[in-house]
Structure 1
């Protein structure tokens, strides 16, 4: 199963090597569980409703082991639908959860230009050699999701606290299931903290404990641009804000709360 991030085995979603994250080989990147939770809430989507918000709480590191997905419709209104989703490990421990809001669409005759979302002035990927995500302190291509994700770096990144990158996932999140526009947004959502990563020294980076994805429209095309900016306080608490673009312009935003993560070598 090398053409996907997860394959389904009974009630469980089994991660492939492409789910692996940058911190340790036994833990997943934040984007695969985010996409899996997005898939879960989308199963309850009405055809005329729009996913406006997806909030994900990452209670603990997500293991590279099978995960069970459970969902629950909290509110099923005509204009607002609220859906929750939870991922459990094989022992029944809750690993992470999501809450989502779907809005009914209200067609408008016109939106004044001053209120319209920003156009995308960032060049759209054309003929280029996609850049794999590399380790901040070396040129070694990273394993897991960062190794398969296609990237075009526009500016910044590499631990500078800000950056802009086009991203594209060339495989399906779930085996046999085509990636929806919202799944593509969810996969890109956790890259804000990587692209806007704050490295205060060679041993200290920042990890995020949540993902707050806001969508004012669905993205089009396979490429998603992440324009991220990270900040940090002396308390070790930080924040990353990312604007999401596609070929038509801005379509959403991601906010992530972050905390310092020190990895000093053992004496």
Structure 2
């Protein structure tokens, strides 16, 4: 990418049917030379939805998406291979593998479930969040570097606290430049931000990257805002968990979990 040219109006550019090139907007928070996983997770959902759309419509909805991050996500061209593992009329399992530099970097498995009218028995969800309109923006760049973080509009519901923050997140960028993506892919593209909004310790002193992301949905999200009601717990043996209640502007939609590996950054010298 020409460093003097402006980045396209999206996190990725399409190269061909299965390959994408990240733009500067996808730059990571731990290392600007890496991809932030959040937009890559959305891109994987985009590829899965394209795979599902290429056959007769079954009316299935994605209810669970689990991502395993297998290694460094270099800011380089990636290829996404999608296959159906377990076909079915009411339950289907799809697997996606992201290759960067010819090596697997992310594996994702998504369960697609039958859509059934269960409105008469729906219940148990938490309360909805206050709407993002009117909330003051929070420059998350004061905590994190990277092109992805700089692309966000973050609006906390209350003052951010160590290990506990509720915030709305949105972006004016498309997932793939010049290409429409579905509401779910655009929504998931912001979910991995959760681990960065409720930091327990300064990321200049401690590292706490997540090695996975699992999203469970009981309602399909809509709209441009992703609501993250996030709690971060650090254990005493180097592991932590980021747990998030997921919302859109109409109310809660599900949950996200991220397992963290915690370690101190080496001191000078």
Relative to the length of structure 2, the TM-score reads: 0.89
Aligned counterpart, 2:4 = none
Aligned counterpart, 1:32 = 39
Aligned counterpart, 2:125 = 117
Kindly tell me: are residues 248 and 263 of structure 1, through their superposed partners in 2, closer, same or farther at Cα, counting changes over 3 Å? same
Q: Is 1:192 equivalent to 2:203 in the alignment?
A: no
Q: Is 1:64 equivalent to 2:81 in the alignment?
A: no
Q: How does 1:229-244 map to 2 (within 5 A)?
A: 229-244=231-246
Q: Is 1:108 equivalent to 2:122 in the alignment?
A: no
Alignment partners' CA distance in 2, 1:116 and 1:180: 27
Q: Which sits farther off after the overlay, 198-207 or 15-24?
A: 198-207
Q: Render the CA deviation track for 1:191-241: whole Å, top value 9, x for unaligned.
A: 121123221796113110000011111112111110100111111101110
Q: Is 1:44 equivalent to 2:39 in the alignment?
A: no
2:100 is aligned, of 82, 89, 95, to: 89
Alignment partners' CA distance in 2, 1:169 and 1:183: 13
Q: Render the CA deviation track for 1:113-168: whole Å, top value 9, x for unaligned.
A: xx342231x221224553331233xxxx733110011110123436x011011001
Q: How does 1:209-228 map to 2 (within 5 A)?
A: 209-228=211-230
Q: Is 1:22 equivalent to 2:25 in the alignment?
A: no
Aligned counterpart, 1:12 = 19
Segments of 4+ moved more than 4 angstroms: none
Relative to the length of structure 1, the TM-score reads: 0.90
Aligned counterpart, 1:78 = 89
Alignment partners' CA distance in 2, 1:47 and 1:150: 36
Count of residues paired in the alignment: 258
Aligned counterpart, 2:247 = 245
Q: 1:61 aligns to what SS in structure 2?
A: coil
Aligned counterpart, 1:153 = 156
Contact conserved, 2:68 with 2:211, CA < 8 A, in 1?
yes
Contact conserved, 2:241 with 2:260, CA < 8 A, in 1?
yes
- Over the aligned positions, Cα root-mean-square deviation in angstroms equals 1.9
Alignment partners' CA distance in 2, 1:202 and 1:125: 29
Structure 2: which 5+ runs fail to align? 1-6
Alignment partners' CA distance in 2, 1:110 and 1:255: 28
Alignment partners' CA distance in 1, 2:41 and 2:100: 15
Deviation of residue 188 (structure 1)? Answer: 2.2
Kindly tell me: are residues 190 and 247 of structure 1, through their superposed partners in 2, closer, same or farther at Cα, counting changes over 3 Å? same
Deviation of residue 257 (structure 1)? Answer: 0.4
Deviation of residue 51 (structure 1)? Answer: 0.6
Alignment partners' CA distance in 2, 1:28 and 1:109: 40
